[in-house]
Amino acid sequence: MSEKKDTGLQERDITFHKVPFSQKAYYGISIAGFTFIGSMIDGAMLKYYTDFLLFPALLFGFAQLIFAIINAINDPIIGYYSDRTKPVEGKGKRKIWLFRSIPLVAIGYFLMIFMNPGVPHMAIFFVLFIGLSLHDTGSATFGINRGALLITITDDDNERASLVTVSLVFQTILGIFSYLLLLIFLTGTTPLPILYIIFTIVGVLGVGVAILGVKGIKEPLKLYRGQTFPKLKQLIKDVFKSKTFIFYIVFQFVMGAVSSTVITFQLFYFEDVIKATGTEVALVSGLTLPFTFLAYYLVQVITKKLGARKTLLIFITISIIAFLGLLLTRIFVLSIIFYLIVNMGNAAFWILSTPIFGNVIDEYELKTGNRNEGTFMGINAIFITPNKQVMIFLFTLIITFMGYNGAAELQIESAVLGIQLGVALVPIILLIIGFLILLFFPLRGEKLAEIKKEIKKIYDKRLE
């Protein structure tokens, strides 16, 4: 009898505590499509609007800031109602919302790309605002529900990290392609019709890949067995009583602000600070792919030995050193090396923030008997969604104050210095704050080990 029981437990571990690679791949394919489009928006739109459409940089920053404040309201609503969605056999629960997100992302993207410099600035501002809002609502719907699935499908920290790592491999492949397009076509004088064609190809491919990935994701209904939903007032009260969650919100805000804007500001740094051509940077950037994959591997290896928190502390330290290098040098080769190191730090944050957040939810479930991942992610997004837009606003404010002119072939010295300050000094300050928060994060040591032990018992019972 005992042998049968042990075998059954092992089978459950293999089936549910360990996620099949095919499923990890579908999670990766689904987000790769969104990343293909998102990378084009994050990396291209600021440069596209300021240098090709001759739209004022500060006005672009205001559009980002205003829409972020308004759009943050969507996130907790999406999370709350997605938690309450009744699972449907064959359609799942989160998958329903994943499919809903795709049209919003597509419409928002295509609204933003088809512009020309002859349109009045206020009209451009209005269309940009609508496009950003639709795209962000779709991205938030996708991100909240996919993120909830990532921490629901398994309770194991290493598997959660592995899920993100496999996803990042797919994201990186399409992301590098998108990145090379940006470097080649947005650091010169490419005609607008060519840019329209490139943007359109990216949008169509991105949507197709996202649909393929979402279709392949399997969502066992037993994952939601026994789940309960407290009233909204009680839920909000429980969330903000969690010291761990407050720590996590602030940590995500500062770290996400840095990682989400590296590509956006990179084009300015390469073209105006180190005076590199698009082809030069594209050739050197071929190193990014193997270097990033190496980072994924190192993060996995170190995490298994030290845990997510200590591993991330190491990579934050490395990132601070690399940003300091970008602040102090204008040498092409050194700048490329420092950017490669920055990407390693970003990789660690992308991979390890998911298991850390999963532990926050696990602690909440042990305390309250509820899980409600979507609502947690939605409330979290109220505070972290504006981070990229705040960062872009600060960057545009700095370079405008320092004399940046998008129509000029060469920037004045003060504008070049302003780009360096926005690209490197602001991230250094935010990374130091993130390091200190993670250093004193409440879930560590014996407390975390006890939480993982108890949550595994709950998963075993739910999935038996």
Amino acid at 110: F
**What is the rounded CA–CA span in Å between residue 343 and residue 319?**
8
Phi-psi region of 219 (alpha: psi -120 to 50; beta: other; left: phi over 0): beta
pLDDT at 289: 72
Q: Is residue 209 part of a domain?
A: yes
Q: Is residue 12 part of a domain?
A: no
The count of structural domains within the chain is: 1
* CATH number of the domain that residue 327 is part of: 1.20.1250.20
**What is the rounded CA–CA span in Å between residue 28 and residue 9?**
28
pLDDT per residue, tens digit, the chain (464 aa), is 333 333 333 323 333 467 888 899 999 999 999 888 888 887 778 888 888 888 888 888 888 777 777 677 788 888 888 888 888 887 888 999 999 999 999 999 999 988 888 889 999 999 998 998 898 889 889 988 998 888 888 888 888 888 888 888 888 777 777 767 776 777 667 888 888 898 899 899 999 999 999 999 988 877 777 666 767 677 777 777 888 988 999 999 999 889 877 777 877 888 888 887 766 766 666 677 788 888 888 998 998 888 889 999 999 999 999 999 999 988 888 988 898 899 889 889 989 988 898 899 888 888 887 777 887 888 777 777 678 778 888 898 999 999 988 777 788 999 999 999 999 999 999 999 999 999 999 988 888 888 888 888 877 776 66
Q: Is residue 33 part of a domain?
A: yes
Q: Is residue 5 part of a domain?
A: no
Q: Is residue 40 part of a domain?
A: yes
Q: Is residue 148 part of a domain?
A: yes
Phi-psi region of 443 (alpha: psi -120 to 50; beta: other; left: phi over 0): beta
**Residue 153 near residue 93 (C-beta atoms within 8 A):** no
What domain range is 343 assigned to?
Answer: 23-219+226-463
**Residue 358 near residue 162 (C-beta atoms within 8 A):** no
How many other CB atoms sit within 10 Å of the CB of residue 313?
Answer: 16
Amino acid at 125: F
**What is the rounded CA–CA span in Å between residue 368 and residue 235?**
10
Q: Is residue 16 part of a domain?
A: no
Structure tokens at 176: 């590098």
**Residue 312 near residue 303 (C-beta atoms within 8 A):** no
* Closest to 398 measured CA to CA, from 379, 421, 372, 366: 421
**What is the rounded CA–CA span in Å between residue 356 and residue 400?**
38
Q: Is residue 3 part of a domain?
A: no
